[in-house]
Structure 1
Amino acid sequence: MLLPTGVRVQQSRWNSPTAESAFQKQCADIYYNEGLVMHQREAIFPANRHALYKEHGYSAAIRSGDLLFVSGQVGSREDGSPEPEFSLQVELAFKNLQATLAAANCTLDDIVDVTTFHTDPEHQFATIMQVKQKHFSAPPYPNWTAIGVNWLAGFDFEIKVIARIP
């Protein structure tokens, strides 16, 4: 595997080309032109994490350097079940998002990119926009992509974000 121009291996720990290739693929000890070390992943969970993380085997968020990649947050109660009332489900998804952000010392103001998933965008969009406006009430607004889907594991709304850690 060839490294991109300007990327070099700081120190080789193996003597064979196969081991060297495996080393490169794992991205260990790789430095960029600016001398920045590639960051390790760190799992982030909110204080009162809900059952879905364990049940489905995923992290609430991953910190990598000064970025936080937050998994899709849904309007789930602590037992992992969906909030049945749609507007409350959206509010609860934002509450779960805020708890995950707080676990990494972030707020909604640190978000740079938002992706939302909707099971019935045509009928849900007005409600989502009302809730969104409460949480993102002043510019600069984060980037936002809304995607219509046909299944969200029993939920009707999901929000995932990328935030810059202050």
Structure 2
Amino acid sequence: MTHREAIFPANRHALYEAHGYSAAIKSGDLLFVSGQVGSREDGTPEPDFEAQVRRAFANLKATLAAAGCTLDDIVDVTTFHTDPENQLGAIMGVKQEMFSTRPYPNWTAIGVNWLAGFDFEIKVIARIPQTH
């Protein structure tokens, strides 16, 4: 049986403890990252939508870094959107900045009607680089 190891970024432990989940789970050479939202330091949503998407990516990067990964190690992306038709332009602009090098990870976008006060969430699976 593969061992599971919880991964947490610096300065975000209280959020995960309060809701009873791990930021990410390392299992073998894979990292399964929980949905990351555009929360400010106090846990509240960033009110500007594009800034919220950027914060979600910043929180994602911090979680990946805690496991020794970067955006380049991502193989699978799932994003959740409260108003996909009107949000897609802003999301695509940020997404293209973050994933600017081919091959791009695969991506599934899902429209939802509730994200606990947030309007965007991103969860990923990454392959953890081998250290030599």
TM-score interval, normalised by the smaller of the two chains: over 0.9
One-letter code aligned to 2:93: Q
Q: Which runs of 5+ in 2 are unaligned?
A: none
Q: Say if 2:32 is the partner of 1:69.
A: yes
Q: CA deviation at 1:138?
A: 1.6
Matched, 1:119 2:82: yes
The Cα of 1:57 is off from its aligned counterpart by: 1.0
Whether contact under 8 Å (1:62, 1:69) holds in the other structure is: yes
Distance in 1 (CA, whole Å) between partners of 2:20 and 2:123 is: 17
Counterpart check, 1:44 vs 2:7:
yes
Structure 1 gaps, min length 5 = 1-37
Moved over 6 A (4+): none
Larger relative contact order, structure 1 or 2 (CA cutoff 8 Å, min sep 6): 2
- Structure 1 position 158, deviation (Å): 0.1
Residue in structure 2 matched with residue 83 of structure 1 by the alignment: 46
Report percent identity of matched pairs: 82
Work out which of the residue numbers 104, 119, 129 in structure 2 matches 1:156.
Answer: 119
Deviation at 1:102, TM superposition (A): 0.1
Conserved in 2, the CA contact under 8 Å of 1:51 and 1:78? no
How far off its partner does 1:50 sit? 5.9
Q: Which has the higher strand share?
A: 2
Offset at 1:51?
4.0
SS in 2 for 1:147: strand
Cα distance, 1:50–1:90 mapped onto 2, change above 3 Å: farther
Structure showing greater Rg: 1
Corresponding residue pairs, total: 129
Alignment-derived partner of residue 18 in structure 2: 55
Instruction: Give the TM-score taking structure 2 as reference length.
Output: 0.95
**For residue 52 of structure 2, what is the amino acid of its counterpart?**
Q
- RMSD, aligned α-carbons: 0.9
Within 2, Cα distance between the matches of 1:142 and 1:133? 11
